[in-house]
Amino acid sequence: MKRERSARILATLGPASASRERIRELALAGADVFRLNFSHGSHEDHAERMKQIREVEHELGRPIGVLMDLQGPKLRVGRFAEGRVTLGPGARFRLDLDPTAGDAVRVNLPHPEIFAALETGTELLLDDGKLRLRVDAFGADFADTTVLVGGVLSDRKGVNVPGVVLPISPLTAKDRADLDFGLALGVDWVALSFVQRPEDIREAREIIGDQAWIMAKLEKPAAIEQLEPIVALADGIMVARGDLGVEMPPQQVPVLQRRIVRAARAAGRPVVVATQMLESMIGAPVPTRAEASDVATAIYDGADAVMLSAESASGQYPVEAVSIMHRIICEVEHDPAWRSGLEASHTPAAANTPDAICCALRRVAGLLEPAATVAYTTTGFSSLRASRERPATPILALTPHVGTARRLALVWGVHAVPFEEVHDVAEMVDHAASAAVAHDFAAPGDVVVVIAGLPFGRSGSTNLLHIARIPD
C-alpha cells in the first residue's frame, strides 16, 4: 500500500460505494481518505461506512483518513402554490417571511438574517445562480427585487448572497448533532461549510478541540477577503469550487484556486481542490481531456489532495474514477516540470527552529538524494512542516498515535505509520532505519534523513536533523 505519488486522493462515499468490498477496491485503486457527506444519509449509514473503512484499513495495513463534511446552513426559498413559477427579466418579485405558498409575484424566504444584511443594490442568486435578482427596497421581513436574469423557479431552491457577510453561524442545529455523532465515531477531519470569517473556525474549535482536525471549506467571497487569517486558524483548507463558482464569476475561480493553494502551502496547511474534477465520469468510463487537465493543474500547483464527489459516491464508475485520478497524478509527478514548478512556487520558511530544520531537510534531500525522510511526530507537526517544504524524497512519518497517522493520510508526500515511542537518539535512528526498510522506502546501504524533536513527545519541538546510512 505504499503510494508511488505525493499528492493524495479524497473519495466521497455514497450509494455507489456503500459496501466493504467497494471501499476496499477504492483504497487499492488509490483513495487515501474517505469523505462522509453529512448532507446525505443517516447516522446509521455513516456508522456502517466508518466500520467498513476501519475493516479495510486493518486488512490493508495502511492508515486511512476519514473526513466528515458538515452540511452547513442551507438558504432556500419556500414553496409555490403551483410548484414553480417563471420569472421574466424586468419583473418585480418580493421575498418575505410570510410562510404561505408563493406565486409569480412573491415567495417565502425563511431567513430573517438575510434581510438584516441586505443593502440596496445587493444581488441575490437563486437556483445555483440560474436566476439573478437585484434588491431595490427591503425591511426586516421583506425584500423587493427586480429580476435581472429570469427563468423557472421551483420549490426549495437555494439562495446565495454574494458579497455580503451574513450574521449566520456555520454550525446549524443539525450540524451540531452530526458533529457530536461524527466525533464519537472517531472521524479524523471535520470539513466546515459556510466559512465566512476567522471567528467561524474558532466557534468550531471550541466544540471539536483536538478530537479532529478542522478543514475550512472556502466557498464564500467573504472568506476570500480574510483568506490568510482563516488559513492560519484552520488545520486544512478545501477549495470548494462548486459554491465558489456560483457566487463569483467563473473566470475568477481558477485564479482564486491558485491563490488559495499558494496561501495554504505557505502556511503549511494541507489543501484540497474539490468539485467537478472528473464530473463526466458520473456516467462515463473515461473523463474529458479538459477534466484530466484540471486535475493535472491542481497537482502542478502543489495541492495536497484532489477530491471526488458524485464520481465516487453515486456515479457508475467509482473505482475507475479513482484509478484515472491516480494515473493522472503519477503522470504529472513524473514530469520534470512538476518539480521545477514546486521549487519556483516555494515560499521562504519562517524564522523559527522547526522551519529551519525542515528547510535544511529540503536542501539535504536535494543534495544527497536520500531514499527517504523519516519524521518522528506525536501530533503531526513535524510531518506537516516537512511536507510544507515539498522535499524530493518521500516522508515516512512514525507516530505513536494511530489517529495522527490517519490525519496525515491527507498530507502531501507523507506515508504515516503507527510506531512505538522511542526514548533516545540511538533508538530513534535504529527504528527509523528498520521502518524505512520494512515499508519499502529504503534498502540496506541507503541513506535516510531523520527529523525529530527533543525532548521526545513535545508538540512543535522539531529541532534535530540526523543523516544515517542503513547498515548492510
Q: What is the DSSP letter of 310?
A: H
Q: Do 33 and 182 belong to one domain?
A: yes
Provide the grid cell at 167: 450574521
pLDDT in tens, the chain (472 residues): 689 999 999 999 999 999 999 999 999 999 999 999 999 999 999 999 999 999 999 999 999 999 999 999 999 999 999 999 999 999 999 999 999 999 999 999 999 999 999 999 999 999 999 999 999 999 999 999 999 999 999 999 999 999 899 999 999 999 999 999 999 999 999 999 999 999 999 999 999 999 999 999 999 999 999 999 999 999 999 999 988 989 999 999 999 999 999 999 999 999 999 999 999 999 999 999 999 999 999 999 999 999 999 999 999 999 999 999 999 999 999 999 999 999 999 999 899 999 999 999 999 999 999 999 999 999 999 999 999 999 999 999 999 999 999 999 999 999 999 988 888 889 999 999 999 999 999 999 999 999 998 887 677 789 999 999 999 8
Is 345 a domain residue? no
Please give the positions annotated as active site. 35, 76, 217, 275
Is 22 a domain residue? yes
> What is the structure's pLDDT at 337?
97
**DSSP letter string, 231-277:** HHHSSEEEEEHHHHHHHS-GGGHHHHHHHHHHHHHHHT--EEEESSS
Q: Do 176 and 284 belong to one domain?
A: yes
Is 77 a domain residue? no
| Strand ranges for 184-250 from DSSP E | 189-192, 213-218, 236-240
**Which domain CATH number covers 129?**
2.40.33.10
Is 348 a domain residue? no
Measure the CA–CA gap between 185 and 122, rounded to whole angstroms. 42
**Which domain CATH number covers 51?**
3.20.20.60
Phi, psi of 358 (to 5 degrees): -70, -30
Pairing of strands 159-160, 92-96: unpaired
Grouping H, G, I as helix, E, B as strand and the rest as coil, residue 162 is coil
Instruction: Say how many C-beta atoms besides its own lie within 10 A of residue 160's C-beta.
Output: 21
> What is the structure's pLDDT at 454?
85
Q: What is the DSSP letter of 176?
A: H
Is 3 a domain residue? no
> What is the structure's pLDDT at 181?
98
> What is the structure's pLDDT at 291?
98
**Which domain CATH number covers 416?**
3.40.1380.20
Residue 207: CA atoms inside 13 Å, Cβ hemisphere, count?
Answer: 19
| C-alpha dihedral, 137 to 143 to 147 to 150, nearest 10° | 170
Instruction: Say how many C-beta atoms besides its own lie within 10 A of residue 208's C-beta.
Output: 19
Domain boundary among 99, 125, 160: 160
Q: Are 231 and 259 in contact (CB under 8 A)?
A: no
Q: Do 303 and 379 belong to one domain?
A: no
Count of domains observed in the chain: 3
Provide the grid cell at 329: 497524478
Q: Do 34 and 103 belong to one domain?
A: no
> What is the structure's pLDDT at 288?
98
> What is the structure's pLDDT at 458?
74
Is 78 a domain residue? no
Cα angle for residues 410, 73, 132 (degrees, 5° grid): 110
Q: Do 383 and 464 belong to one domain?
A: yes
Q: Which of 76, 152, 141 is nearest to 115 (CA)?
A: 141
Provide the grid cell at 437: 526498510
Q: Which domain holds residue 101?
A: 84-160
Q: What is the DSSP letter of 410?
A: G
Q: Do 44 and 114 belong to one domain?
A: no
Provide the grid cell at 64: 486511512
